[in-house]
Amino acid sequence: MILANIDDYRELARRRLPHFLFEYIDGGAFSETTLRSNANDLQKILLRQRVLRDVSEVSTATTLFGQKLAMPIGLAPVGIAGLNARRGEVQAAQAAEAAGVPFCLSTVSACSIDEVRAGVNNPVWFQLYMIRDRGFLREMLARAKAAGTNTLLFTVDMPVPATRYRDMRSGLSYGTMFQRKLTRSLQVLRRPQWAWDVGICGRPHSLGNIAPVLGENAGIDEFWAWLGKNFDPTVTWADIDRIRTEWDGHFIIKGILDPDDAKQAANIGANGIIVSNHGGRQLDGASSSIRALPKIADAVGDDVTLLMDSGIRSGLDVVRALALGAKAVMIGRPWVYALAARQKTGASEILQLFANEMRVAMALSGCTKISDINRDMIESID
């Protein structure tokens, strides 16, 4: 099939992945209202088309947290993304490095931070949750520092896991362990290419960073059980403040939708905020990220660097987010779809696609550099 946009990569990923893995990537919480709003609300933002300006030279280059980037895009942390292709997070990190953008590894990745770091020339970003086992949390901080990581994303919108109906229906999180394993095994048999590439040649399946606490033979079921026990509903700003004092690099708080929370993040010394609703995977019915972005930008001004994720599906969406106050965006599902569809090649292709779409959108809006993008470009927000 011709891969023209992100929808095409999504469809190819659907055909190649076992059903439970595709549903895990693609789905959201409850009725998925917020999941849909993330993308739909971006499409309602109209840009002003400008003409007769010299747009023969358009640059997407920018600087973020002292790092020069080819474009204002990063690959967001996605749990167990490494199961979508053989040693998938290593391949994605390599694609990001080649494209000149950052890659952020999830705490709950399939590949460990040490393995990913060994596969690239430069350190990657790292993401952490606040979990009950504070000793393990501090051990992960130490491992990230040892791997040279200087940018930490701390996810704060997951004190408890949300209900995701697709994961229940797919056999990922419902039924007895025997029923779940049987269901998933039958799905894997229908995807022999994935079974060979990832299931057999992609071993070990050790769940990367949390393998030391799960044990060598732990699988997805043990992974979900560990997550359920270790999310911490008691976490407060005081806990985040303590972690901030222990981390001497760039500290970014991920999962902010409210202006007052954004101000609090700035007050504790966060270098950055990611306006995010976890890709519609937590509180269903919450605001889309793009609707929350302008209010947060107005609330914090230049006190903290704003990023955004959730719903970004094209380079045009990137321009929309930048116009409303973000300095960069993080993409999650797009790179995972592309990885599942065509491995590292797919991840590289999707980044090139976003870059091309950005340049066209900028040129037709009369912009030639990232600093030209501002709210004056917005015709209306429906």
Active site residues: 278
* Residue 134 Cα distances to 67, 175, 268, angstroms: 30, 31, 20
Inter-CA distances, 155 with 158, 159, 179, 255, 275, Å: 7, 9, 32, 6, 11
Q: Is 163 left (phi over 0), alpha (psi -120 to 50) or beta?
A: beta
CA distances from 127 to 137, 345, 351 (A): 11, 24, 21
- CA dist 136 to 107, 128, 139, 180, 240, Å? 11, 11, 5, 28, 16
What is the pairing mode between strands 250-256 and 305-308? unpaired
- The residues, any chain, with a CB within 8 Å of residue 146's CB and separated by 6 or more, are none
User: H or E element: which one contains 56?
Assistant: none
Using DSSP's 3-state secondary structure scheme, residue 306 falls into strand
Residue 70 CB-density burial (10 A; 0-12 exposed, 13-18 middle, 19+ buried)? middle
Element (H, E) at 58: none
Structure tokens that stand for 215 in this block: 């044990």
Cα distance between residue 60 and residue 368, in whole Å: 8
Phi, psi of 313 (to 5 degrees): -125, 5
How do 45-47 and 104-105 pair as beta strands? unpaired
> CA of 191: how far to CAs of 15, 16, 288, 322, in Å?
8, 6, 34, 39
Residue with tokens 């520092």: 145
Contact 21, 190 (CB under 8 A): no
